[in-house]
A = this chain, B = another copy of it.
Amino acid sequence: MNTYGTRFRVTTYGESHGLAVGAIIDGCPSGMHIDFDAINCELVRRKGVGVETSARQEADRVEFLSGLKDGITLGTPIAFSIHNVDAHSDDYAKLEHCFRPGHADYTYYNKYGIRDHRGGGRASARETVARVVAGTIAKQLLSPIIICAEVDELGDGQTRGGIIKCRIEGVQAGIGEPVFGKLNASLAAAMMSIPSAIGFEMGAGFAAAKMSGEEYIDRWHEDGTTVTNHCGGVQGGISNGMPIEFRVAFHPVVTLPEPVDCLTEDGRLETVDVGGRHDRCHVLRTPVIVESMAALCLINYIL
């Protein structure tokens, strides 16, 4: 369940405060020059630079362990790791036996009976760094298809959520699968797998539910394009050649800057100043993760 994809398969690993995070990519075609600069560039986008992002600043040096010869893919598994160097695990000592509200502490504990409480362990957004590396390679394979995501709405308050809009251009008609393998269904799963994603909509989305059929219907031009794109470029699970458009809602950061009541393992509430270093607004860092997951989704339909 830590594997994404059927043809271009990415298996990720790593806890936030463990030795490393990384992944194995299996199914990448041979003979492709990896653009390492693009990977580093996207990792910088993910890290964010603004005042509202975490003070934890990882160097994020990617070490490729296999699958390449002189920077060219061999067709064999591409393993990479990124060592965690700027983790302050001591900040988390007070959380060893209690569960923060809004986090996955309690659910992991119930599932596994054990957890790495430091920095959110496997549930940390630190895990998305591997998605960005793999997603950037997928983007390169998808060229000249363009995937572009940006912040569409930002929430208010002391920690914030928001909505990311993503647009994919250049996908020809006929890409997708019917019934359970619908392209829009896979995009939904890909997006909802991003930490703190809480909603997904194609094209007109929730607003479409209030439209009449007459308003909603995307009418033809003679060249097979449509006047509107309310469906978001996918019909019956298969692309229609229009841009693929969707939005993803993210709930606000659930680590508050003030002390909160945590639940202890023995069922008491305990006020804890959670500390650690956290974003005020992760949504600013999220577009590149949305793009990466979109690329990982799409490449499995196109390879």
The complex is assembled from copies of this chain, and their number is: 4
A292 at interface, CB cutoff 8 A: no
Cα distance, A9 to B202, chains bound together (Å): 27
Number of residues in A with C-beta < 8 Å to the partner?
140
Within 8 A of B (CB), among A170-224: 172-182, 184-193, 195, 197-206, 208-220, 222-224
A126 → chain B, closest Cβ, in Å? 11
Q: Check if A236 sits within 8 Å of B157, measured CB to CB.
A: no
Q: Which residues of B contact A252 (CB under 8 A)?
A: 208-209, 211-213, 216
Interface segment, one of A39-47, A52-60, A97-105, A141-149:
A97-105
Q: Which residues of B contact A253 (CB under 8 A)?
A: 213
A235 at interface, CB cutoff 8 A: yes
Q: Check if A22 sits within 8 Å of B65, measured CB to CB.
A: yes
A20 → chain B, closest Cβ, in Å? 4
A141 → chain B, closest Cβ, in Å? 15
Cα distance, A173 to B111, chains bound together (Å): 7
Cα distance, A66 to B40, chains bound together (Å): 23
A57 → chain B, closest Cβ, in Å? 21
Q: Check if A256 sits within 8 Å of B114, measured CB to CB.
A: no
Q: Which residues of B contact A24 (CB under 8 A)?
A: 2, 11, 13, 23-24
Q: Check if B238 sits within 8 Å of A104, measured CB to CB.
A: yes
Counting chain B CB atoms within 10 Å of each CB, which of A186, A187, A214, A240 scores highest? A214
Cα distance, A111 to B24, chains bound together (Å): 20
Cα distance, A157 to B113, chains bound together (Å): 52
Q: Check if A74 sits within 8 Å of B115, measured CB to CB.
A: yes
Q: Which residue of B lies closest to A262 (CB)?
A: B220
Within 8 A of B (CB), among A222-265: 222-224, 226, 230-232, 234-241, 249-256, 260-263
- Nearest 5 A/B pairs, CB to CB: A157-B212, A104-B236, A1-B181, A159-B213, A110-B174
Could you list which residues of chain A lie within 8 angstroms of chain B, going by C-beta atoms?
Answer: 1-4, 6, 9, 11-15, 18-24, 26-27, 30-31, 63-67, 69, 72, 74-79, 81, 99, 101-104, 106-108, 110-116, 121-123, 127, 153, 155-163, 172-182, 184-193, 195, 197-206, 208-220, 222-224, 226, 230-232, 234-241, 249-256, 260-263, 267-269
28 inter-chain pairs at a CB distance below 8 angstroms, sorted by A residue, are A1-B177, A3-B26, A6-B6, A12-B179, A14-B65, A18-B67, A31-B113, A75-B114, A76-B178, A106-B173, A107-B238, A110-B173, A111-B238, A153-B209, A155-B211, A157-B213, A182-B193, A186-B189, A192-B202, A199-B200, A199-B206, A205-B249, A206-B249, A213-B255, A213-B256, A217-B254, A223-B267, A224-B263
